[in-house]
Amino acid sequence: MKTPTIAQTLFMLILVAIFTLSACSDDDNNENYGEGEGTVTVEDSSYILDQGLRTIYDNGDGLFVHNIMLHSSSLNNPDENGYYVHFYFFTDSKTLSGQTIEYTHPNENIPNTIYFAFLKLGFDSDNQTHEQAYDVKDGSLTVSKEGGNFDISFDFITTKKDSAGNVLAQDIPMYGNYSGSLTFEGINKK
């Protein structure tokens, strides 16, 4: 059996945090989630992004790993499928203020670069499955923060894949934005 990478492990921890919060009985009013307004557009369809989560991981080598997940509020309901955009990137600071982060390939631990990013559609939180994915292969993400609010915009070129990971199409544009708060899950140290 293949050992999961740090990125895969961190991603699963983020998902567990989201779904643990969604299982709480008093969260129907979404108090536990960062709330905002945004959209992601791919293949002439737009999807509302109205909640967000963020973690920071001190990589121990002068770099900070940031995870930002923007998602539909339907992910909070175990009876519904939803969608989310996930950004995993490096900076040399734990604060975010107007940085533009570029996608690099092959993946390298360099400040202000995206290690990976993707959009999952038709995500089933019970089974951890999705109907389609759009994996980023080029583009940029801009993140700024003022007070407790974030302004996020992104413009990417993606590869479309089915639920089994088979490539369906190449060079699909994906762009979007989000403005609002992000639930902060803390700083972890290596």
CB contact set of 66 (below 8 Å; sequence gap of 6+) = 54, 55, 56, 57, 87, 88, 89, 90, 91, 96
Q: What is the pLDDT of residue 46?
A: 95
> Of residues 10 and 41, which shows the higher confidence score?
41
Q: Does the pLDDT at position 30 exceed 50?
A: no
* pTM higher than the cut 0.85: no
Q: Does the pLDDT at position 10 exceed 70?
A: no
Q: Does the pLDDT at position 95 exceed 80?
A: yes
Q: Does the pLDDT at position 80 exceed 80?
A: no
DSSP 23-64: T-TT-TT-TTSEEEEEEEEETTEEEE--EEEEEEEE-SSS-E
What percentage of the chain's residues is helix, strand, coil (to nearest 5)? 10, 55, 35
Tokens 């940031």 found at: 66
Q: Does the pLDDT at position 114 exceed 80?
A: yes
Residue 133 backbone phi and psi in degrees, to 5 = -135, 150
> Of residues 137 and 107, which shows the higher confidence score?
137
- Count of other CB atoms within 10 angstroms of residue 43: 13
CB contact set of 79 (below 8 Å; sequence gap of 6+) = none
Q: What is the pLDDT of residue 161?
A: 94
**Confidence band for 139, pLDDT divided at 50, 70 and 90:** very high
**Confidence band for 14, pLDDT divided at 50, 70 and 90:** low
Q: Name the H helices within the chain.
A: 6-22
Q: What is the pLDDT of residue 29?
A: 41
CB contact set of 104 (below 8 Å; sequence gap of 6+) = 110, 113, 114
Q: Does the pLDDT at position 83 exceed 70?
A: yes
Mean pLDDT, all residues of the chain? 79
Q: What is the pLDDT of residue 84?
A: 86
